[in-house]
Amino acid sequence: MPPFLLTPPPPAPPRLIIRPLRPADIRPLHAACYPDHPFRAFDEACLRALAAYTRGRCFPLIATVQEAIVGRGQLQIYANAAEIADLLVAPAYRDQGIGTALIAVLTNIARHMRRPLLEIGVMPDNVRALALYQRLGFTISREIRLPQTGKTGIILERLLVIDS
Q: What confidence tens digit (pLDDT) does each residue in 62-109 have?
A: 999 999 999 999 999 999 999 999 999 999 999 999 999 999 999 999
State which amino acid sits at residue 158.
Answer: R
The pLDDT of residue 13 is 85
Distance of CA 108 to the CA centre of its chain: 12
In a domain, 11, yes or no: yes
Q: Please tell me the total count of domains within the chain.
A: 1
Dihedral angle over CA of 147, 44, 39, 133, nearest 10:
-50
In a domain, 92, yes or no: yes
- What is the domain extent for residue 73? 3-116
Please say if the pLDDT value at position 1 is more than 80.
no
In a domain, 163, yes or no: no
Q: What is the mean pLDDT of residues 46-52?
A: 96
Contact 59, 109 (CB under 8 A): yes
DSSP 121-151: EE-TT-HHHHHHHHHTT-EEEEEEE-TTT--
154 falls in which pLDDT band (50, 70, 90)? very high
Residue 93's CATH number: 3.40.630.30
Buried b (16+ CB within 10 A) or exposed e, 96-107: bbbbbbbbbbbb
pLDDT > 70 fraction of the chain, expressed in percent and rounded:
99
In a domain, 161, yes or no: no
Please say if the pLDDT value at position 60 is more than 70.
yes
